[in-house]
Amino acid sequence: MAKYLGLDLSTQSLSAMIIDDLSGDIICEDSVNFGQELPGYNAPSGFVNGSNEGEIFSDPRMWLDAANILFERLQSKTALSQVAAICGSGQQHATVYLNSKFESTVNSLDSRISLTENLTDCFSRSLSPIWMDNSTTVECNEIADSVGGNNTVLDKSGSFAIERFSGPQIRKFAKTDSEAYENTSTIHLASSFLCSVITGENTSIDHGDGAGMNLMYLKTRNWDVDLLNATAPNLISKLPALSSADSKAGTINSYFVEKFGFNSDCSVYVFSGDNPNSLIGCGGALPGTAVISLGTSDTFFAAMSNPVSDPNGFGHVFGNPAGGFMSLICFRNGSLTREKLKDKFNLDWDAFSKAISQTTDDIQLPWLIDELTPRVSASQASIDILEKSTDGKVIREFIEGQFLNMLYHSEWMGEKIDHVILTGGASQNNEIAQIIADVFNANIDRLEVSNSAALGAAMRAAQAHSETDWNTINSKFIKPAADKSLTPNSYDNSGKLELFKNLFKAHTA
Ligand code: XUL
């Protein structure tokens, strides 16, 4: 029997989950909310705005302070000496800039003082730009121009040059503060930074999080020399190595043994991004299953066998921690659009559900607000249709449109999806879930666990440490709610998809 710890460093909190691989149970969970528990950082939601338009930062010392609080709490709940291995997850794209003192300091931490007190002199940039920062449009264009266009960036890295991705962020830093950039010895991602602190040495970036940098050549999973050169001078010397997510990063730093009672043999596996970890924690490790998260925006992610990119560049491709690749596709017309539909007819959610359970032959283009996938502005025609409509069945037409758009814009992956795991607020709505089952012609499951990134990290620790196959790990830890499974009704999904494509073509003609 062994226990495994999964960490999740997200925008607003640092969370932990300890699982038991014999019983398949979660035996301990905790979370430190940055805004509430570390108010001295003046970051109520975990981030601060920069002085320039679009800049958003987090303080990595806040993350370290949260780690001290979190481990102390975990120690009071369970014997950390029983943890056999640790793995972790970080918000994607965030970069941490460290000077030459980091490597020796992190390796000889003084357990009488906090992590921040130990490491405070090791940052060459005090704040980390995070995934919400969209201030790097100029740098994205420069990188794309320098390698021969955005299609080359897409072809190489799996995504167009994207403002929040680490490469454009690094370029902006190198341009605006070249001295601090030169004083930077190592640039970590949030995930590899935390992993380095936990092991006491500079650890690798995994292929899952590495692919969110616009710097990794997807097909070989190595740093891409052209992208590195287009991004910043001498960048290769500042980046950790890349490695697969099941690689061992090391054993636990003695700081955590002395201070929190971990066993000095405790293994640490390379951390990854929160989306790759969530793929695992939702049971999507293997191709054929997609995870659809219904939130303010809707997100679709799924394991992929091959490193194909979305030819339109709407979706992203990351490494799948279980091997191979994964897609991540964001749709802005998610719950905001569903709320607009509900509000137009002054319905409560029960009446909304009733309205979408009636079938209809028509469908609508769902873009009531500007969309990312595809990149289109809010459709005035769709807004007018909704405005003029007096029959609530139009709600169903829009919801079908949302998921036909998702089906259409995930076709590039070339994977047959026959199983969908639904998460997020709206996933509890049975009628929405049934429409997804019908449109994707797939069975639907909904999970009991909400922190899928921490669970995914813990499952990765268990899988790598015990060298068990993913089907066995999934059968232990992925627990669909027994009464929440759905199967598709008879529905002409290829006919509806054709209809959607024609509407879309007419809209963009
Ligand atoms: C993915 C992305 C976000 C962050 C959130 O590209 O930017 O999902 O990973 O933590």
pLDDT, position 196: 98
What is the pLDDT at residue 467?
A: 95
Structure tokens given for 129: 């730009």
How many whole angstroms separate alpha carbon 77 and alpha carbon 318? 35
432 contacts 295 by C-beta, under 8 angstroms: no
Spacing, Cα 291 to ligand 1 middle (Å): 15
SS3 303: strand
What distance in angstroms lies between residue 316's CA and the mean position of ligand 1's atoms? 11
Taking residues 315-342, what's their average pLDDT? 97
- Measure the CA–CA gap between 479 and 487, rounded to whole angstroms: 17
- pLDDT tens for residues 210-229? 999 999 999 999 999 999 99
How large is the average pLDDT for residues 6-17? 97
Q: What is the pLDDT of residue 450?
A: 83
Q: What spacing in Å lies between the alpha carbon of 85 and ligand 1's midpoint?
A: 25
Q: Of the candidates 119, 93, 293, 291, which has an alpha carbon nearest to the alpha carbon of residue 192?
A: 93
Beta-bridged to residue 417, according to DSSP, are none
Ligand 1: centre distance to CA 131 (Å): 6
Report the alpha-carbon distance of residue 98 to residue 340 in Å, rounded. 46
User: How many Cβ atoms from other residues are within 10 Å of residue 503's Cβ?
Assistant: 19
pLDDT tens, position by position, 75-122? 999 999 999 999 999 999 999 999 999 999 999 999 999 999 999 999
Write out pLDDT tens, residues 60-72.
999 999 999 999 9
For position 1, what pLDDT does the model report? 60
Question: What value does the mean pLDDT of the chain take?
Answer: 97
- pLDDT tens per residue, range 347-366: 999 999 999 999 999 999 99
Give me 453's structure tokens: 């990134």
pLDDT of residue 429: 95
- In the predicted structure, residue 161 carries a pLDDT above the cut 80: yes
Category of 467 on φ-ψ map: left (φ > 0), alpha (ψ -120 to 50) or beta: left
Query: 3-276: CATH homologous superfamily?
Result: ATPase, nucleotide binding domain (3.30.420.40)
Length of the chain in residues, anyone? Answer: 509
Q: Are the C-beta atoms of residues 119 and 83 closer than 8 Å to each other?
A: no
Ligand 1 binding residues, C-beta < 6 A:
10-11, 91-93, 131, 164, 212, 273-275, 328
Burial class (CB in 10 A: 0-12, 13-18, 19+), 355: buried
The arithmetic mean of pLDDT across residues 47-52, rounded, is 97
The mean pLDDT of 475-490, rounded to a whole number, is: 94
- Residue whose Cα lies nearest atom 10 of ligand 1: it is 91
- Residues of the chain with pLDDT > 90, as a percent, come to 98
* C-beta neighbour count of 170 within 10 angstroms: 27
- Measuring from atom 6 of ligand 1, which residue has the nearest CA? 92
Backbone angles phi, psi at 318, to 5 degrees: -120, 170
* pLDDT at residue 461, as a whole number: 98
Centre a 10 Å sphere on the Cβ of residue 89 and count the other Cβ atoms it contains: 36
pTM: 0.96
* Cα(189) to centroid(ligand 1), Å: 12
User: Is domain 283-448+479-509 classified as CATH 3.30.530.20?
Assistant: no
Nearest-atom number in ligand 1 for the CA of 132 is 7
pLDDT score at 425: 87
Every domain range in the chain assigned CATH 3.30.420.40: 3-276, 283-448+479-509
Q: Per residue in 413-426, pLDDT tens?
A: 999 999 999 999 89
CB 444 within 8 A of CB 437: yes
Are residues 254 and 244 in contact, defined by beta-carbon separation less than 8 angstroms? no
Distances (CA, A) of 453 to 6, 279, 283, 386: 8, 8, 11, 37
Residue in this structure with the two tokens 């997804």, named with its chain if needed: 436
Q: Which residue has the tokens 């997807």?
A: 218
